Structure 1
Amino acid sequence: MNWLTTRRHFALLVAPALLLYSLYMIFPILYSLFYSVTDYDGVSATAFTGLDNYRHMADDPAFWTSLRNTGIVLGIALFLLIPLGFLLAVLLSGGVRGSGALRALVFAPAIVAPILVGLVWIFILDPQIGLLNAFLLAIGVPAHPQWIGGPTLSPYSIGFVYLWQQIGFVLTVFYAGLRMLPRDVLEASSLDGATRWQQLRHIQVPMLRETFGIVTALVVTGVFKVFELVYALTGGGPVHLSEVLVSYMYHVTFTTQQYGYGMALAVVVFAVGALASAATFLGNREKRSGR
């Protein structure tokens, strides 16, 4: 097996994967960087414009709105999705009757296409025909909040639907982590008189630190890829008030055909997502080294 350790054979083994990675990852990034400094519109000749697209972005209110909305969805994911997913995993790992069926039920939305999830939730959140407002009216609440399609609540509704779709995935990861914990440690703590809360706080949560880090990284990267939910629920409206970064990038690139500006937005989305992911990984590494 010594041939496996030689550089030549290692390069031969890595080359196919590296070729595919370069073709589908590195090349599109370089392609976007190039066209982000041009005025390319898909038809006329391309002209170099320097940083004009980025200057235009800094003065574009719709870009800052989409960035704010992405931050709202990210906040909901970090401060609600992860804690709720962990709480449900703890509850279902405690020997609840029918926990297998409950896990499957909660996980089901994670395997449904996001565009279908959005279509389902339209019939719940739509201000005119939605079941939620119909229920509020039936119990005597006269107000009809614009859960989607309004100027204020749309990003929060998108964040809630994203939470509903992804909570099963988060629960599954935490449940697997909880099941992997050494049982003898928990049994020893029980013999020493530790309560269930004390076990959770002082044993399970510290031992799941790496799992929390992985889940956080997956959630952060997932938020910066949200598109179908926005497209199905609001289409980015009204007047781009419910856009997130990816949906606004799609609108600029393929609806208004401002490919140069769209590529500049793509570069910024990539940079923001990469920085957020890097910060998450660095924070997790510092926590591990500080244990």
Structure 2
Amino acid sequence: MATTRAQPDFRTRLQDWLPRIVLSPSIAMMFVFVYGFIVFTIYLSFTDSRMLPSYDWVGIENYVRLWGLRAWWTAVINLGIFASLYIVICTAIGLSLAIFLDQKIRGEGLLRPIYLYPMALSFIVTGTAWKWIMDPGIGIENTMHLWGWESFEFRWIKDRDMAIYTVVIAAVWQTSGFVMAMFLAGLRGIDNEMLKAAQIDGASNWNLYRRIVIPLLRPAFLSAFVILAHLAIKSYDLIVALTGGGPGRATELPATFMYSYTFTRNSMGIGAASAVIMLMSIAAIMTPYLYAELREKK
């Protein structure tokens, strides 16, 4: 005799649908205000948009004009300098701090939040604070002069050739603690039995880290690279607060270029083209990472 399957009652169906009902407005807004505006920006990059959006199709003309602008090349070169130094220095400092804390030292519970504290600040606050610190009139140089060291000079923030390195210093200060937390989580996830076996076999601490620990941290290295590269490409508020893109265009990055050409130079089409190139750069970093993660899970 065939048994009939009981139909779920109204309360059961409501419990199944309630999460979807609650999340649907957020999902709809995300598609409209994130992905919808991404598509709209891509479309504007192929139009003759200036102060206001225009729908006159011009093809790749904006991209051709963009790569012909000296200001854009300056922003790209600055991004190359900033991103390379930022990623390498943050990774080195974060790994060093993680290894230091992994030695089960006293006061780890106090040091860990101290290292992580800068990440709790916004880039606007970080930029403003470091602008004061590096200002020759009120910062490090002035303090050294008050202490009697009259010959001391630290004017990087006013120097066209050195200003980009002040941005690197501020960004590294803010993010190194976060990278440290990533590496520390990776270190705490390594099997201690494997390390003890290597020590019994006579491996020194240097060889232990070089041949076992650091290779096992490959996922942490990859995650740190993706996050830092993403932050470097979309850096805007730190630049605005610290240097304003100056002196001249010495610290202009693609994000500040995009803003200036879109909202102050009435060249929305070129600004949209620069935004699309930034999006493609981030996608070029994220896509291989996501593919590797999904492949590893499979």
Provide TM-score, normalisation by structure 2: 0.83
**Contact 1:63–1:248, Cα closer than 8 Å, also in 2:** yes
Identify if the C-alpha distance between structure 1 residues 50 and 103 changes in structure 2 by more than 3 Å, giving closer, same or farther: same
The alpha-carbon deviation at position 140 of structure 1 amounts to 4.2
Distance 2:267 2:139 in 1: 35
Identify the residue that residue 183 of structure 1 maps to in structure 2: 192
Identify the residue that residue 89 of structure 1 maps to in structure 2: 98
1:221 aligns with 2:230: yes
Q: Superposed, which structure 2 residues align to 1:177-216 within 5 Å?
A: 177-216=186-225
1:67 aligns with 2:76: yes
Identify the residue that residue 10 of structure 2 maps to in structure 1: none
**Contact 2:44–2:53, Cα closer than 8 Å, also in 1:** no
1:212-241, Cα deviation, whole Å (9 max, x unpaired): 111111111111121111000111122322
Distance 2:53 2:172 in 1: 43
**Contact 1:133–1:145, Cα closer than 8 Å, also in 2:** no
Identify the residue that residue 156 of structure 2 maps to in structure 1: 147
Identify the residue that residue 180 of structure 2 maps to in structure 1: 171
The alpha-carbon deviation at position 146 of structure 1 amounts to 3.0
**Contact 1:213–1:281, Cα closer than 8 Å, also in 2:** no
Identify if the C-alpha distance between structure 1 residues 43 and 190 changes in structure 2 by more than 3 Å, giving closer, same or farther: closer
Identify the residue that residue 7 of structure 1 maps to in structure 2: none
Q: Superposed, which structure 2 residues align to 1:226-237 within 5 Å?
A: 226-237=235-246
The alpha-carbon deviation at position 45 of structure 1 amounts to 5.1
Distance 2:168 2:195 in 1: 36
**Contact 1:70–1:244, Cα closer than 8 Å, also in 2:** yes
Identify if the C-alpha distance between structure 1 residues 171 and 229 changes in structure 2 by more than 3 Å, giving closer, same or farther: same
Specify every segment of 5 or more residues in structure 1 that has no aligned partner in the other structure, as ranges: 1-10
Identity of aligned residues (%): 30
Identify if the C-alpha distance between structure 1 residues 165 and 132 changes in structure 2 by more than 3 Å, giving closer, same or farther: farther
Identify if the C-alpha distance between structure 1 residues 100 and 262 changes in structure 2 by more than 3 Å, giving closer, same or farther: same
1:138-157, Cα deviation, whole Å (9 max, x unpaired): 57473644322431111111
Which of residues 71, 79, 92 in structure 1 aligns to 2:88?
Answer: 79
Distance 1:20 1:38 in 2: 26
Identify the residue that residue 6 of structure 2 maps to in structure 1: none
**Contact 2:127–2:241, Cα closer than 8 Å, also in 1:** yes
Match of 1:269, as an amino acid? M
1:195-223, Cα deviation, whole Å (9 max, x unpaired): 21121111111111111111111111111
Provide TM-score, normalisation by structure 1: 0.85
**Contact 1:125–1:133, Cα closer than 8 Å, also in 2:** no
| Number of equivalent positions | 281
